[in-house]
Amino acid sequence: MLQQPVKFLLLVLILASTAVAPGCIAPKKYQPNKPFVFSTTINIQGNLPPSEKQDLKSRLENQLDDSLKTLLVTAYPGRILLQHPPVFDTNSVHRSKEFMGSLLNSLGYYKAMVYDSVIRHPRSHKDQLRVSVVFYVYPGKGYKFDSIVYQLQDSALQSLAMARRANSLLKKGAPYSVDVISEELDRLVDLFRNQGYYKFNKEDLLAERDTVFAALINPSLDPFERIALLQEAKRRQQNPAMNVLIKLRNPADSAHFRKYFIRNVTVYPDLDLLNDSAQVTPFRDSINGVAIYSKYNKFRPTFIESKMGVHPNDLFRQRNFLRTYSNYSQLPAWAQVSIETTEAKDSNASITTSLQRWRLGQAVECEIRQYRHD
């Protein structure tokens, strides 16, 4: 005969195993005699690997319109409450299909199809009008990355990109994704900004995708080239693949493709919050090229300089500014830290960078000069 604690444990397990059965779900605070969303389900069709199918399902669930999402709360084992179920609206179904279609396209499922089925339950629960929505998703074959080409119209940037190509996030044969392309552009921006390219930003890069089908509509295309492109297009229909070409958006904007060096570094370790550097200060020190202007002279110059990640004549590197920011932010003496950079309008086209931090307020100013080939 089973002991009492063991009996109780078995009962809990049995109840838990049936906790998600529809009969165990009790809607609460619904609008009576109005159709409300009782459940929303997404069924992924096709032969995707189980892990890929589960990941895709989770992503698609995030695309559901808010008025199709339900909140289930476990009251006790075997009893689940459906809290504040939303009133059913067919427009929410259409919006969800559009959102899911956009996601599928961004993940490389260009021939995906999404169908919906709306099930209205018989009125068997007093004033409840339950509606279940089921989405059937047919992703089809997902595109894979094929050839990845860097064609930057600047020899120095091209050399940098090729030297670090092993770190690229775009891999031949990997699932195509718009997000991965965006992350690759971010990687290149970080790479260039850590090599002196102070003005370089993501808007300077352009990723072109799949030029094969676009080339086929070119009326001046050579017949032999057209045959080759048609063969390539046929191959891609059987095994969908995507070429990616990364290049500069505006190669003529040479100011964004020049290296910069730091000119001067000036530190204001105890600037009051409402003051600016022009109102400071009687004490001045200099160590390793870092000028320190102090109002109260409470900090040792060696201590201030030891936290600096930037110094005069250094090549501009974004990570050094981030490290400097982090070094000062972690110190209890400074409650507020900010970094500002502005270009100095002088004959050398130099840049003034202000790195400000406050106790009630402290600031560091840095000047960056443009690298010149002379």
Please spell the DSSP secondary structure of 319-358, one letter per residue.
HHHHHHHHHHHTSTT-SEEEEEEEE--STT--EEEEEEEE
Q: Work out the average pLDDT over 115-131.
A: 88
**Is the pLDDT assigned to residue 215 strictly greater than 90?**
no
Whether residues 271 and 184 fall in one domain: no
Residue showing tokens 């600016």: 276
pLDDT average, residue stretch 269-280: 60
In a domain, 2, yes or no: no
Domain final residue, candidates 92, 107, 138? 138
The answer to whether residues 270 and 222 belong to one domain is: no
Q: Report, as an integer, the average pLDDT of 165-174.
A: 93
Top pLDDT among 236 and 262 is at 262
Answer yes or no: is pLDDT of 40 > 80. Answer: yes
The answer on 321 and 264 residing in a single domain is: yes
Q: What is the pLDDT of residue 137?
A: 96
104 and 153 fall within a common domain: no
Over residues 83-108, the mean pLDDT reads 92
Amino acid, single-letter form, for residue 212: V
Last residue of a domain, one of 114, 138, 162: 138
Select from 191, 181, 116, 199 the least CA-distant residue to 143: 181
Query: How would residue 343 be classed by pLDDT, with cut points 50, 70 and 90?
Result: low
Same structural domain, 277 and 241: no
pLDDT at 250 over 90: no
Q: Are residues 29 and 109 in the same domain?
A: yes
Residue 51 has pLDDT above 50, yes or no: yes
Q: Which of 92-96, 182-186, 326-330, 332-336 has the lowest mean pLDDT?
A: 332-336
Return the beta strands (E) in the chain as ranges.
25-28, 35-44, 71-76, 79-83, 113-120, 129-138, 144-150, 205-209, 241-248, 260-268, 283-287, 290-294, 336-343, 351-358, 363-370
DSSP 8-state code for residue 152:
-
CB 119 within 8 A of CB 111: no
Query: Highest mean pLDDT range out of 136-140, 307-311, 347-351?
Result: 136-140
Residue-wise pLDDT tens digits, 68-80 = 998 888 877 777 8
Q: Structural domain tally of the chain?
A: 3
Are 238 and 277 in the same domain? no
270 & 225 share domain: no
At which residue do the structure tokens 């059987």 appear? 238
Whether 10 is in a domain gets the answer: no
Average pLDDT over residues 231-256: 78
Question: What are 107's two structure tokens?
Answer: 């993940």
Say if residue 348 is in the same domain as residue 319. yes
Task: Judge whether residue 166 has pLDDT over 60.
Answer: yes
Please tell me the predicted confidence (pLDDT) of residue 275. Answer: 54
Give alpha helix (H) positions in 203-300. Answer: 212-215, 223-238
Most confident of 97-111, 230-244, 252-266, 323-337: 97-111
Q: Does 7 map to a domain?
A: no
Task: Quote the domain boundaries for residue 63.
Answer: 23-138
If asked whether residues 127 and 150 sit together in one domain, one would say no
322 in any annotated domain: yes
More confident residue, 261 or 93: 93
**Residue 1 clears pLDDT 60, i.e. is over it:** no
Helices and strands per DSSP (H, E), number in the chain:
9, 15
pLDDT of res. 19: 35
Long-range contacts of 333-336 (CB under 8 A, 24+ apart): 333/299, 333/359, 334/358, 334/359, 334/362, 335/359, 336/273, 336/361
Q: Is 6 within the bounds of a domain?
A: no
Instruction: Identify whether residues 251 and 263 lie together within a single domain.
Output: no
For 373, residues 6+ apart whose C-beta sits below 8 A from its C-beta are none
Q: Is the pLDDT of residue 193 over 70?
A: yes
Task: Please identify which residue in the block is written with the tokens 């000119």.
Answer: 263
Question: Quick one: pLDDT at residue 358?
Answer: 43
Task: Say whether pLDDT at 101 is over 80.
Answer: yes
Which of 256, 276, 297 finishes a domain?
256
**87 & 149 share domain:** no
- Does a structural domain hold residue 345? yes
